[in-house]
């Protein structure tokens, strides 16, 4: 009488199942997989041996073997899931970040720590320079009435000087009465009004912030950019004080080797007015695309406060005088870091941004 190839099947199945259960790690179990349920397992060997059976016996033996295999595979799958869960729990415990009250798990890659953008960092550096010179820092609204952005600054409606600022109007109230501020100069008006109301003149302040113009972006312009406004109202202030502040600022921020110059200009709210320029740091004055071949870059405007502006906010011109300036913060960043095209500041290319961390 021939012995059935499946005579020892239940013993084989028990052996295989105990091998599965005894695997202590996922790696160990997976390494054993070919010998338990794969081609090198006893189950595969038995499968082949069924070919030697008479056809009438082969079907029943095949079904029996198939049932046994299903049982082994089920045990294998259960143990595999068990070991995978254990491995995941260990990895999570290792990657767990305890941030005080907030517990963040499931982090498998190190967190990239952010840093202030180049314009924000520049703004802080500029504030530091002016604070060291005795200025206070404040801010003002980005959405302004026409009165603050223009009229109080001696720019009445339909004045040709309005053409200096291509304005975004906000659809609020009467047409063209609410604007996205085109410069930080309206904060001068807010500051003087507050000081007059509180009786806290004199003023030595800087006011940084965002501005908006319908300017087409190019190497030196953006439609959303930043300025830092400066305002001094005190007794006996002269143009020499203004020139001294600008000179001190230039050397403190750009270094002693950068030249600056003031050129006569026109602003409706200052008289006399000047444009403040420094040597183009991209070409060191040789002339390039960034400075339109002039060798100079305009950083801002400045001048002595116009008596009409002082009068509009109730500051007595016979007692007080002062000056104001408004510099482009993005332009300062551009010159300090020799960025040929200002549009790089808003491209959000991390390879560019990472250089300034």
**Contacts with ligand FA5, residue ranges (CB under 6 A):** 183, 185, 213, 215, 221-222, 225, 227, 267, 270, 273, 298-303, 324-326, 328, 330-331
Which one, 146 or 330, has the nearer CB to ligand FA5?
Answer: 330
Q: CA-CA distance, 192 to 58, in Å (whole number)?
A: 103
The total of other beta-carbon atoms located within 10 Å of residue 114's CB is 8
| Min CB(201)–ligand FA5 separation in Å | 18
CB-CB contact of 36 with 14 (8 Å): no
Of 133, 121, 255, 151, whose CA–CA distance to 206 is shortest?
A: 133
133 to 247, 274, 293: CA distances (angstroms) = 12, 21, 34
Residue closest to ligand FA5 (Cβ): 328
DSSP string, 70-133: HHHHHHHHHHHHHHHHHHHHHHHHHH-EEETTEEE----SPPPP----HHHHHHHHHHHHHHHT
| Min CB(269)–ligand FA5 separation in Å | 6
| Min CB(199)–ligand FA5 separation in Å | 24
| Min CB(118)–ligand FA5 separation in Å | 14
Which one, 173 or 202, has the nearer CB to ligand FA5?
Answer: 202
> Would you state the structure tokens that stand for residue 204, as one six-digit string?
């030595």
Cα angle, residue 249 at apex, residues 291 and 257 outer, rounded to 5°: 60
Which one, 41 or 188, has the nearer CB to ligand FA5?
Answer: 188
Q: CA-CA distance, 266 to 199, in Å (whole number)?
A: 31
Which one, 190 or 213, has the nearer CB to ligand FA5?
Answer: 213
| Min CB(298)–ligand FA5 separation in Å | 4
81 to 2, 21, 106: CA distances (angstroms) = 41, 12, 19
How much is the CA Rg of the chain, to the nearest whole Å? 38
Which one, 75 or 182, has the nearer CB to ligand FA5?
Answer: 182
| Min CB(211)–ligand FA5 separation in Å | 7
Cα angle, residue 166 at apex, residues 326 and 342 outer, rounded to 5°: 60
Which one, 75 or 321, has the nearer CB to ligand FA5?
Answer: 321
| Min CB(297)–ligand FA5 separation in Å | 8
Residue 266, class by beta-carbon neighbours within 10 Å (0-12 exposed, 13-18 middle, 19+ buried)?
Answer: middle
Q: Residue 282: CA atoms inside 13 Å, Cβ hemisphere, count?
A: 22
Which one, 76 or 325, has the nearer CB to ligand FA5?
Answer: 325
| Min CB(122)–ligand FA5 separation in Å | 12
| Min CB(178)–ligand FA5 separation in Å | 19
Q: CA-CA distance, 86 to 80, in Å (whole number)?
A: 10
* Contacts with 159 (C-beta within 8 Å, 6 or more apart), sequence order: 150, 268
Which one, 19 or 183, has the nearer CB to ligand FA5?
Answer: 183
Q: CA-CA distance, 180 to 332, in Å (whole number)?
A: 22
Which one, 76 or 165, has the nearer CB to ligand FA5?
Answer: 165
């Amino acid at each position: 009488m021939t012995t059935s190839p499946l005579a020892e099947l239940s013993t084989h199945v028990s052996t295989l199942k105990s091998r599965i259960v005894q695997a202590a790690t996922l790696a160990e179990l997976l390494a054993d997989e070919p010998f338990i349920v794969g081609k090198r397992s006893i189950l595969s060997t038995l499968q082949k041996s069924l070919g030697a059976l008479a056809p009438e016996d082969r079907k029943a033996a095949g079904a029996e073997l198939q049932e046994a295999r299903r049982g082994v595979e089920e045990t294998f799958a259960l143990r595999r899931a068990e070991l995978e869960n254990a491995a995941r729990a260990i990895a999570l415990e290792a990657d767990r970040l305890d941030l005080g009250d907030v517990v963040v798990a499931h982090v498998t890659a190190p967190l990239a720590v952010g840093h202030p953008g180049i314009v924000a960092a520049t703004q802080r550096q500029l504030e530091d320079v002016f604070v060291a010179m005795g200025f206070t820092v404040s801010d003002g609204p980005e959405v302004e009435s026409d009165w603050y952005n223009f009229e109080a600054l001696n720019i009445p409606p339909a004045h040709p000087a309005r053409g200096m600022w291509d304005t975004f109007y906000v659809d609020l109230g009467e047409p063209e009465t609410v604007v996205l501020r085109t410069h930080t100069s309206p904060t001068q008006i807010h500051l003087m009004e507050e000081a007059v109301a509180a009786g806290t003149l004199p003023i030595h302040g800087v006011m940084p912030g965002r501005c908006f113009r319908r300017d087409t972006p190019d190497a030196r312009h953006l439609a959303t950019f930043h300025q830092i406004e400066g305002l001094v109202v005190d007794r006996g202030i002269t143009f020499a004080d203004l020139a001294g502040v600008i000179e001190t600022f230039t050397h403190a921020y750009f270094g002693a080797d950068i030249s600056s110059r003031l050129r006569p200009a026109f602003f409706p709210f200052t008289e006399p007015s000047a444009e403040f320029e420094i040597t183009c740091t991209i070409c060191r004055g040789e002339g390039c695309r960034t400075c339109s071949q002039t060798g100079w870059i305009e950083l801002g405007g400045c001048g002595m406060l116009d008596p009409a502006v002082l009068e509009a906010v109730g500051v007595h011109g016979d007692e007080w005088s002062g000056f104001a300036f408004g510099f482009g913060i993005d332009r300062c960043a551009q010159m300090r870091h020799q960025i040929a095209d200002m549009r790089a500041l808003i491209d959000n290319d991390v390879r560019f941004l990472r250089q300034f961390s």
